[in-house]
A and B are shown apart, each in its own frame.
Chain A
Amino acid sequence: EVQLVESGGGLVQPGGSLRLSCAASGFSLSSYEMNWVRQAPGKGLEWVSDINSSGSVRYYADSVKGRFTISRDNAKNSLYLQMNSLRDEDTAVYYCGRVPMAASSYHYNYLDVWGKGTTVTVSS
């Protein structure tokens, strides 16, 4: 079964750091572009970051640029999001998502597989 499982969320004080992980199973992560998307409590979806299959190209939303770093370890079939200098407004459920291979080849970016999410709460 194709599956993504996020972990690493929790309660952190403003200014603190967290590292989220996304473990892939049922497919080889190395073949896929991946994204992080978040959802604040009671709000809509907000794109956070994208990384290509090799890890050589990364994109970030302006709201997290300079604070968050996306990375991957294809040998471990895992995706990561290092979050530093956390703010109250970073409180959200964080989802990882997979881009279909056919889409990536055209620079299309929509997500056909999503994890269940991990909750990050930034509060003092």
Chain B
Amino acid sequence: GENVEQHPSTLSVQEGDSAVIKCTYSDSASNYFPWYKQELGKRPQLIIDIRSNVGEKKDQRIAVTLNKTAKHFSLHITETQPEDSAVYFCAATLSYNTDKLIFGTGTRLQVFP
């Protein structure tokens, strides 16, 4: 069925450390994988995305990797800062003929100074 699994559900790191969040998806036809950051009471905001024809994408301290064979993708945040603290959601579009986003269950990231 339509499913995106996300781990861990909570993650605590010291400022300056790296954080990694992993997601797996069920449909091999999935072709678009965005990551959203949601601060408390705010809208989800896209921080990075990747399409299925790319294996890795980087934007400053944030990177996303995609393993199509294993059907998983990961968010990497380096040199974490307290303002990175938020809930992060992965998402995927699950086949070529749909653009609805199926979201993971979220990871609450806390960065301690």
Do A and B make up one complex? no
